[in-house]
A and B are shown apart, each in its own frame.
Chain A
Amino acid sequence: MAKTHVTMKVNGAEVEGLIEPRTLLVHFLRENLQLTGTHIGCETTHCGACTVDLDGMSVKSCTVFAVQAEGADILTIEGVAHADGTLSALQEGFRMMHGLQCGFCTPGMIVRAQRLLQENPSPDEAEIRMGISGNICRCTGYQNIVKAIQYAAAKINGVEFQEAAE
């Protein structure tokens, strides 16, 4: 099969590649671009570990062909920190609230949560849980992930984070 030339923007940088059309976006990111922060978990569109932001949408990059992303603007976990290398509010929230144990789901969780907070800057707990319902974590029981996102929302909104009583 003929290879196809693709160009897209990933974390602000123009990238290109010559790939088979069957190349999945997650493989293009990990293998062609060496951006291995985006993880492959289930490979069956369930777990959300491979979530990236594509033109303002959270998508599971194991279920998108790279050729479908031609011309797209993509954000992966590698592009989340501030330009000076300091942690974003969400990254800081995951650290401060202990929002990870093994960390495998974390890149997908953070990229998904970033889109969620852009669409809804002050989500309540139920909205956060629905918002990350496409991302599976097998360690935390989600409680500290929800807190991490609440922490980030508070920080972005410039209000003091109040941890809910358990």
Chain B
Amino acid sequence: MIPGPFNYHRPATVADAIRLLATYGDDARPLAGGHSLIPMMKLRLATPEHLVDLHGIGDLKGIRRDGNAIVIGAMATQHDLLASNDITQAIPILQETALLIADPQIRYMGTIGGNVANGDPGNDMPALMMTLGASYRLQGATGSREIAAKDFYQGAYFTALAAGEILTSIAVPIPATGHGYAYEKLKRKVGDYATAAAAVVLTMAHGKVATCVIGLTNVAETPLLAEAAANAVIGMALDAATLQKAAAAASAIMSPAADSRGPVEYRKHVGGIMVMRALTRAAARAK
């Protein structure tokens, strides 16, 4: 399990990284935490000739509050996210989700930028970022641009990231004070990808759902926003019939693969259950 040979580059600035990626084109890959890329390289499913390690770039690190948003540097790790007081106070669902990703060792290395930019439908952060209305800052040779998380994912491992561009930061709007939240993930064991998972962020008023966004992980080639399911609960009390309607509406847009996590019908079924559980837990947390 030894990767193919490559040349190693460790630029100190984003500009240098982009220049290297432009110079080597398809032969180069950026290296963030490496916990998706290095296993692929060990299996020789990825054989980049040039690795551009982003670890030396200070500008890509850190988590800071910026007005009504939290800005997460692409190289912030899941462990950094869990240690951030700003996140605990403002967007705790990010920590609830990070704790369900992989295991402690991998959370020290795995980055938020890598998790959202890789386009792996099994990753948990993309659906959550869509649910939170986050946007990604992308930088390339011709400048930088901002794209909404919901417009970023095009297919399994296909994203709006253009050749030579890297994701530099993620801006996550802070949800309303008193919002309820939950990330429900069914997995077979620690470290597994979701059989199905659902993210819910909502607000309640007078016992009824006032606003609601639902995101779904690993039940399609891309993360999904379950808009019809959210609409089915807005203005309603979360009784059993309403929860069932939301689950059915969410299941209707799922198209999971049949794999070792179960056949299609099972994964859609448990996907609906994840939506119901997340809605129930989020509502109980809302103030």
Contact = CB atoms under 8 A, between A and B. Distances in A.
B6 A59 contact: no
Interface stretch (B35-43, B119-127, B150-158, B200-208): B35-43
Given A59-B105, A60-B105, A134-B105, A45 B39 contact: yes
Contacts of A68: 31, 34, 53, 55
Contact of A58 (B4, B38, B108): B108
Given A22-B2, A43-B42, A57-B79, A134 B104 contact: yes
A17 interface: no
Interface residues on A, range: 20 to 34
Contacts of A126: none
Interface string B33-67: 01100110110000000010101000000000000
Contacts of A62: 1
Contact of A1 (B6, B10, B31): B6
A159 interface: no
A43 B41 CA distance: 12
Nearest to A22: B3
Contact of A22 (B4, B10, B102, B105): B4
B1 A43 contact: yes
A67 interface: yes
A21 B1 contact: no
Contacts of A44: 1, 39, 42
A55 to B, nearest CB: 9
A45 B2 contact: no
A45 B35 contact: yes
Contacts of B42: 43-44
Interface string A10-24: 000000000011101
B16 interface: no
A64 interface: yes
A98 interface: no
Contacts of B3: 22, 24
A21 B2 contact: no
Contacts of B265: none
B8 A4 contact: yes
Interface in B97-115: 102-106, 108-109
Contact of B35 (A27, A63, A132): A63
A21 B104 CA distance: 26
B34 A134 contact: no
A47 B7 CA distance: 28
A39 interface: no
Interface string B1-43: 1111111101000000000000000000001001100110110
A147 B219 CA distance: 39
Interface of B: 1-8, 10, 31, 34-35, 38-39, 41-42, 51, 53, 55, 79, 102-106, 108-109, 190-191
20 contacts: A1-B5, A1-B6, A2-B7, A4-B8, A22-B41, A43-B42, A44-B42, A58-B104, A58-B105, A63-B109, A64-B109, A65-B8, A65-B34, A65-B38, A67-B8, A67-B10, A112-B105, A134-B102, A134-B103, A134-B191
Given A43-B42, A58-B105, A133-B191, 20 more contacts: A2-B7, A22-B3, A22-B41, A24-B3, A43-B1, A45-B35, A45-B38, A57-B105, A62-B1, A63-B38, A64-B38, A65-B8, A65-B34, A67-B10, A68-B55, A112-B104, A116-B104, A132-B104, A133-B103, A134-B103
* 10 tightest Cβ-Cβ pairs between the two chains A and B: A134-B103, A21-B8, A57-B108, A43-B1, A133-B190, A1-B5, A134-B105, A22-B3, A58-B105, A60-B105
